[in-house]
Amino acid sequence: MLAAMVGLSRYAIMYYENNQTEPLLEDLKKIAVALDIEADKLYDDYYRFLDYPYGERIKEIRKEHGLFQHQLAKMLGSDRRTIERWEHGRGVIKRATWEKLKSLGLL
C-alpha cells in the first residue's frame, strides 16, 4: 500500500487523490520515491516554484520589479515580516499567494 510505503495515512493519500487537501512538497517527493518516478512528474507549476528554493525566487522577483519587502507585502495583502521569512526559506507560500503573484504578473 502506497500510504504505508511513504509513512502517511491512507486517508491522507485519499484526500490528495480527491483534491480535498493539498499535499506537502515533501510528501510528493516521498510518493515519487515509492513509485520510482521523478518527483517533478507529480508537480504542477506551484510545486515547481516551491522546489526551486522559493525564498531565493521571491527575493529575485522582488528585486526584478524594484520592490521593497513592504511594497511586495502590500501587493499580496501580507506584511513585511512574512516576505522576509519567505526570503529566508521559512514558512511555506500558500497556493493562493502564489496565484496572486502570478495574477499580478510577477511570475
Report pLDDT for 86.
95
Question: Number of folded domains in the chain?
Answer: 2
Mean pLDDT, to the nearest integer, of 12-26? 93
63 and 83 co-located in one domain: yes
**Which domain does 53 fall in, by range?**
49-103
Query: pLDDT band at residue 51, thresholds of 50, 70 and 90?
Result: very high
96 and 63 co-located in one domain: yes
Give the span between the Cα atoms of 21 and 99, in whole angstroms. 17
Question: Mind listing the pLDDT tens digit for each residue in 82-99?
Answer: 999 999 989 889 999 999
Domain of residue 95, CATH code? 1.10.260.40
23 and 55 co-located in one domain: no
Helix (H) or strand (E) holding 94: none
36 and 71 co-located in one domain: no
Which string of DSSP letters, residue by residue, matches 20-62? SSPPPHHHHHHHHHHHTS-GGGG--HHHHHHHTTHHHHHHHHH
Query: pLDDT band at residue 1, thresholds of 50, 70 and 90?
Result: confident
pLDDT of 45 higher than 90: yes
* pTM, two decimal places: 0.86
pLDDT of 61 higher than 90: yes
Give the span between the Cα atoms of 81 and 43, in whole angstroms. 28
Mean pLDDT of the chain: 94
